[in-house]
């Protein structure tokens, strides 16, 4: 590739990479964009869900093309609380994501380089495993989660399968959290999405301290849950699994050092930390980032410098905005006993619906934060205080 000011390279053709490519090209007809992907296909094989209210208003009309299923309410279940919330819940998947960008591939505006490994990046160049160097106007790195010495993490791990039942499965609305199941090694719940009256996604999810995923054990628990629901007579349509980071703390000094590193590729998606720190939901942040990038390029007449500066600021803003969420994660992972972690969420789902919506959308007020923290806590006070301040928590972690 020659070095053109209006060229963009995105590394990683997952959720964030494809959403960004889609929006940038849709809004900027003069931009040339290349996606580099290490596997042999784009989009992977995933399901992404979110509350409709998680999306900033500007993004909602654009998101409709991605959504495959939509429900006007959902259920949560805990040992001492069951509740149905009138919150619109939406799901898209890898197929719908690929369909969104396929016209851009067909007309040649979105160029793909599949089965291509990247060994080195900078703000304006990519080095391939072959030794070839690609020069461009801007490099965005969307290769997914990468552990950093700035971040202290817990993990959300899941194994899911979509099944087709012979008889109707009987679910009308999603069950976002069924925490009435045995609590094993951390906070555990089962997640169910009824796509049709015969098709349902059943996903066994854990919030645990380590990233290890014991697939065979979780599949056995899925078998048991499906059997308990009376869905034994079924066929498996597809399966998926994942290990997602849940951020407990970020070393602010090291974060500033990396964020201001000159000449780096711009991280987006989970690689840039753009996910809801408590829930792990990544789609609302991926859409917001894509929107910001595309609009800033358009606003600046196709030049890329302002968009780069915008994303540098956005990275810092996101870090600052999620400080409260990291505190809640420390309460969940460090102050609560693993088998009692469900009590934190059980209490949370007793709050007003509007507060729950604002929490998921990251639009909670100072009053909301106090409402969540004040009252009879579901964790021991001395452990809560020990993990309250982020800097103290990091110092303790380093000392161990």
CB 243 within 8 A of CB 388: no
Nearby residues of 317 by Cβ (< 8 Å), 6 or more positions away: none
CB 120 within 8 A of CB 127: yes
Q: What is the pLDDT of residues 69-95, one digit of tens each?
A: 999 999 999 999 999 999 999 999 999
Give CA angle at 335 (329, 340), nearest 5°: 95
Nearby residues of 274 by Cβ (< 8 Å), 6 or more positions away: 16, 268, 282, 285, 286, 288, 289, 318
Domain range summary for the chain, segments of one domain joined by +? 7-49+57-67+90-148+251-321, 151-247, 326-399
Q: Is the backbone of residue 162 left (phi > 0), alpha (psi -120 to 50) or beta?
A: beta
Nearby residues of 89 by Cβ (< 8 Å), 6 or more positions away: 49, 50, 51, 52, 70, 71, 73, 74, 174, 176
Query: Quick count: other Cβ atoms within 10 Å of Cβ 196?
Result: 11
CATH class of 151-247: alpha beta
What is the spatial distance between Cα 323 and Cα 317, in angstroms, rounded to a whole number?
Answer: 10
Q: Per-residue confidence at 66, pLDDT binned at 50, 70, 90?
A: very high
Q: What is the pLDDT of residues 2-57, one digit of tens each?
A: 444 569 999 999 999 999 999 999 999 989 899 999 999 999 999 999 999 999 88
What is the spatial distance between Cα 206 and Cα 60, in angstroms, rounded to a whole number?
Answer: 30
What is the spatial distance between Cα 107 and Cα 358, in angstroms, rounded to a whole number?
Answer: 40
Residue 252 pLDDT greater than 90, yes or no: no
Q: Per-residue confidence at 336, pLDDT binned at 50, 70, 90?
A: confident
Exposed/middle/buried for residue 301 (C-beta within 10 Å: 0-12, 13-18, 19+): exposed
Residue 261 pLDDT greater than 90, yes or no: no
What is the spatial distance between Cα 36 and Cα 141, in angstroms, rounded to a whole number?
Answer: 10
Helix H segments across the chain? 15-27, 57-63, 94-106, 215-228, 252-259, 283-299, 305-321, 323-330, 342-348, 353-361, 366-373, 381-386, 390-399
pTM of the model: 0.93
For 290, the 3-state DSSP assignment is helix
Q: What is the pLDDT of residues 127-186, one digit of tens each?
A: 999 999 999 999 999 998 888 888 999 999 999 999 999 999 999 999 999 999 999 888
Matching residue, tokens 């290490």: 38
Sign for the CA dihedral angle at 228, 231, 234, 238 comes to negative
Residue 1: its pLDDT value, please? 42
Same topology, domains 7-49+57-67+90-148+251-321 and 151-247? Answer is no
Distance of CA 371 to the CA centre of its chain: 25
Average pLDDT over residues 61-74: 96
Q: Per-residue confidence at 99, pLDDT binned at 50, 70, 90?
A: very high
CB 334 within 8 A of CB 248: yes
Fold exhibited by the domain 7-49+57-67+90-148+251-321: FAD/NAD(P)-binding domain (3.50.50)
Residue 5: its pLDDT value, please? 54
What is the spatial distance between Cα 198 and Cα 267, in angstroms, rounded to a whole number?
Answer: 40
For 132, the 3-state DSSP assignment is coil
Q: Which residues lie across from 127 on neighbouring strands? A: 120, 133
């Amino acid at each position: 590739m020659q070095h053109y000011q209006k060229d963009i390279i995105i590394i990683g053709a997952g959720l964030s990479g494809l959403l960004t490519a889609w929006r940038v090209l849709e809004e900027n007809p003069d931009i040339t964009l290349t996606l580099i992907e290490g596997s042999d296909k784009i989009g992977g094989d995933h399901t992404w869900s979110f509350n409709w209210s998680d999306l900033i208003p500007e993004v909602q009309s654009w998101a409709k093309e991605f959504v495959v299923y939509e429900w006007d309410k959902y259920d949560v279940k805990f040992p001492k609380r069951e509740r149905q919330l009138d919150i619109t819940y939406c799901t898209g998947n890898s197929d719908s994501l690929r369909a969104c960008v396929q016209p851009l591939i067909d007309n040649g505006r979105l160029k793909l380089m599949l089965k291509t490994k990247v060994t080195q990046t900078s703000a304006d160049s990519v080095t391939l495993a072959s030794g070839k160097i690609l020069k461009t106007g801007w490099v965005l790195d969307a290769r997914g989660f990468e552990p950093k010495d700035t971040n202290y993490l817990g993990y959300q791990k899941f194994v899911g399968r979509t099944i087709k039942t012979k008889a109707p499965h009987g679910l009308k609305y999603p069950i976002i959290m069924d925490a009435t199941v045995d609590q094993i090694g951390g906070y555990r719940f089962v997640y169910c999405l009824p796509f049709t009256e015969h098709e349902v996604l059943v996903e066994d999810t854990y919030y645990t301290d380590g990233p290890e995923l014991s697939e065979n054990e979780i599949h056995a628990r899925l078998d048991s849950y499906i059997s308990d629901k009376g869905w034994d007579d079924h066929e498996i349509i597809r399966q998926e699994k994942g290990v997602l980071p849940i951020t407990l703390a970020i070393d602010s000094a090291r974060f500033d050092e990396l964020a201001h590193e000159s000449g780096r590729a711009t991280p987006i998606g989970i690689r840039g930390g753009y996910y809801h720190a408590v829930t792990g939901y990544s789609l609302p942040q991926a859409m917001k980032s894509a929107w910001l990038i595309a609009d800033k390029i358009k606003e600046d007449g196709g030049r890329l410098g302002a968009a780069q500066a915008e994303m540098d600021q956005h990275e810092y803003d996101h870090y600052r905005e999620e400080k409260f969420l990291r505190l809640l994660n420390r309460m969940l992972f460090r102050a609560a006993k693993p088998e009692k972690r469900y009590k934190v969420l059980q209490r949370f789902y007793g709050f007003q619906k509007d507060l729950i919506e604002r929490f998921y959308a990251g639009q909670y007020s100072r009053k909301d934060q106090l409402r969540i923290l004040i009252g009879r806590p579901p964790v021991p006070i001395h452990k809560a205080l020990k993990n309250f301040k982020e800097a103290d928590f990091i110092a303790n972690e380093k000392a161990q």
